[in-house]
Amino acid sequence: TVGREELDRMGDSSLGEVLKRLPGVTLGGPPGRGGQIRMRGMGGGYTQILLDGQRMPPGFSLDSIAPEQIERIEIMRAPVAEHGARAIAGTINVILRADFKRKAHELRLGGGVDGSQPQTGVTLTRNGQTDALGYNLTTTLFSGHQFNEVDTHTLHTGADGTPTLDQSLHGTTLDKRRGLFANGRLSFKLGGGDTLDLQPFFNTVRVRTQGQQSLAQAVNLEDAGGLPAYTAAESSARSHWQMGRLTGSWQGAAGNGGKLLVRFGGSQSSSGSDTVRAETGGPERNDKIITKRSRDTSLDTSGKFSQLLADRHSASAGWELTSGRRSDLSSTLLNGVPDPSDSSFGDTLTARVRRLALYAQDEWDWSKQLSFYVGARWEGITTRTDGDSGPVSNRSQVFTPLAHLVWKLPDAPRDQIRASLTRSYRAPDTGQLIGRHVANALAPVGDDRLGTNSPDRPDRAGNPQLKPELAWGLETGYEHYLAEGGLVSANLFYRRINGVIRNVIGLQDVAYADVQRWVSTPTNLQSADAAGLELEAKLRAADLWTTDLPLSLRSNLNYTPRFEVQQLDNQLVRQGRKAVVDAYAAWRFSADASARLTISNAAARTYDTGTTYLQAGSSQITDTRTRTTTNINLRAELRF
């Protein structure tokens, strides 16, 4: 658990900066650009992110939560019945503060650069407390530019080692973003000790993007049987995203020491983009107009009844009911007419998901040294998708037994040994279920419908027949606590995942071509194993020097070594080493005024990734290099 004291000490400006320093937590993507939150290296739905014990809605931005609003962050390496079993890698639960003990209001003004691009932002927080109502309202306005530069090299070789394709793609984009984040918390004290909490959220972001690409070849493609789709491309895009959500909870006494907690919520988000793209230098000039729209709507309710059975023995049971709907609309005009590879031109594809969960759990402190937790959770999931292949319904259910044990050593009561045996799962998201086919832009079909592609440039499609991944987990760990908040721990984990979902590339018949095309489709495979050893040490170092100046200096280093993952028997994914250095300096003018300088990604290293695809003795290798930039931000903080 990371408490309020540690959050104040580091002085982060966003929740994303807080999370990347937690033990066992990493961020995917290029350094300094954020990315998927991962525990034990597993993201993409394997790590569960909760806000006050509830799942975040689709598209919710973690950076819309100011660190000052957080009471603590809980890291759970294994799932528990109450918080759900969609946590194969683990759970991160962000607990917001119920009230503020400091000044009533706060103002934060900041500006800086991302590389050479300007960034500005302002955040206003208002807090208040009466006998019957406590409230917290936070609004953030931001504007910023971001420059991205990516180089991709593709090399195909035949069975005899002779290159058949050698291309280099250089691309740059300049994003101009502006947005508004607003959230709040209203806490009502009702009669009889009952409480009612309401939490509204609203976020909106607008982005304008200018992009350029150049495609160069080192092997005569005419001898290889085809010409590149283009050698130069320019694009201009406008995109938007907005989300509104209201959640609430009511808690009251149920008699005989029991408590009842009821939660409810609803959200709606929408996004869209309009892109104009011109491709030249290929067999012919292509002008494209690409329009995309999507909308997500969800309603949910849950409840929990808890009862104290004895002094150190309690039990609880509850339910969760969720209903969600996603719709996607996409169309592509090619030289003024519908693109022949857009098989669902102008059609709205939808996916509906309904989920019902029931759970029970028992917590028992057998003695001062030994405590048990046992729980069970059942979830039923119903999905219905309307895609290219027509309506498809799918039902699945998951039963997850859970058991945890903690033994505190008699001679060292602060030291403890933990052990867990759990069942968890990962459900496919709605984007994977929708069966829309999308042709690869580097390998177009063409007017003759005879265009082909390659395994490293596949088309994409969803799979409405996907089933959840199911995992058995075994966990054991030892924690040794030192003086002044120090900790040394070791944790060993193992996961056996059945029905693991991977993108499988294969030849398929498609409606937009008269020849088979290589298509990447999410597919349930048999099984996968994940295991690891986690070591953590947290020690208090002596101060390097003492001074009467109101200045504090801190730094942080995140390092991920180079690694490879064998995704399939013929597909290898590579990631280069990633080192991120951050530095912080804070000057306190008074108890209510301070200034903070933050330097993120000071090393600004390039980020390298790649894939290798093997087929019948030939190979197709793709390497991508992304340049990163240093982010410098100066912020003033006022409390009044």
- pLDDT tens readout for residues 57-83: 655 666 666 676 677 888 888 899 988
Looking at the 3D structure of the chain, how many domains does it have?
1
Q: How many angstroms separate the CA atoms of 297 and 430, rounded?
A: 12
Q: How many angstroms separate the CA atoms of 503 and 432, rounded?
A: 10
Q: Is the pLDDT of residue 364 over 60?
A: yes
pLDDT for 223 equals 43
Weakest-pLDDT range from 11-15, 153-157, 357-361, 576-580:
11-15
What are the tokens at 359?
Answer: 């759970």
Q: Which of 571, 576, 582 is nearest to 525 (CA)?
A: 571
- Spell out the residues 6+ positions from residue 356 whose beta carbon is closer than 8 angstroms to its own: 319, 320, 321, 379, 380
535-561 pLDDT, tens digit per residue, is 888 777 666 666 778 888 888 888 888
Weakest-pLDDT range from 169-183, 212-226, 470-484, 623-637:
212-226
Q: How many angstroms separate the CA atoms of 556 and 11, rounded?
A: 12
Percent of the chain clearing pLDDT 70 (strictly above): 90
Task: Give residue 219's pLDDT band: very low, low, confident or very high (50, 70, 90).
Answer: low
Q: Is the pLDDT of residue 103 over 60?
A: no
Contact (CB, 8 A) for 381 and 468: yes
Q: Which residue segment(s) compose the domain that 455 sits in?
A: 4-639
Q: How many angstroms separate the CA atoms of 83 and 316, rounded?
A: 12
What's at 606, amino acid-wise?
T
3-state secondary structure of 64: helix
On the 0-12 / 13-18 / 19+ scale of CB atoms within 10 A, 361 is buried
Q: Which of 254, 134, 228 is nearest to 185 (CA)?
A: 134
Find the helix or strand (DSSP H, E) in which 5 lies: helix 4-10
What are the φ/ψ torsions at residue 370 (nearest 5 degrees)? -125, 130
111-169 pLDDT, tens digit per residue, is 999 989 999 989 888 888 887 888 888 888 999 999 999 999 999 888 888 888 888 99
Q: Buried b / exposed e across 453-485, counting CB within 10 Å, b at 16+?
A: bbbbbbbebbbbbbbbbbbbbebebebeeeeee
Contact (CB, 8 A) for 173 and 210: yes
Categorise residue 52: left if φ over 0, alpha if ψ from -120 to 50, beta otherwise: left
Q: Is the pLDDT of residue 13 over 80?
A: no
Q: What is the dihedral of CA 513, 514, 516, 519, to 10 degrees?
A: 10
271-321 pLDDT, tens digit per residue, is 999 999 999 988 888 899 999 998 999 999 999 999 888 888 889 999 999
Q: What is the mean pLDDT of residues 352-361?
A: 93
What's at 325, amino acid-wise?
R
Task: Give residue 225's pLDDT band: very low, low, confident or very high (50, 70, 90).
Answer: very low
Tell me the pTM. Answer: 0.82
CA distances from 73 to 23, 69, 97, 367, 397 (A): 12, 11, 11, 28, 30
Q: Which of 632, 598, 636, 635 is nearest to 112 (CA)?
A: 632
3-state secondary structure 200-240: EEEEEEEEEEEEEEEEEECCCHHHHCCCCCCCEEEEEEEEE
Contact (CB, 8 A) for 594 and 634: no
CATH of the domain at 587: 2.40.170.20
What size, in residues, is the chain? Answer: 640
Pairing of strands 232-255, 195-217: antiparallel
Question: How many whole angstroms from its chain centre is CA 128?
Answer: 32
What are the φ/ψ torsions at residue 433 (nearest 5 degrees)? -80, -35
Percent of the chain clearing pLDDT 90 (strictly above): 31
Q: Which residue has the higher pLDDT, 270 or 284?
A: 270
Q: How many angstroms separate the CA atoms of 437 and 442, rounded?
A: 15
Per the DSSP assignment, residues forming a β-bridge with 612 are 572, 621
- Spell out the residues 6+ positions from residue 549 whose beta carbon is closer than 8 angstroms to its own: none
Q: Is the pLDDT of residue 373 over 80?
A: yes
Per the DSSP assignment, residues forming a β-bridge with 425 are 470
What residue has token string 């099984």?
A: 527
428-442 pLDDT, tens digit per residue, is 877 787 767 888 877
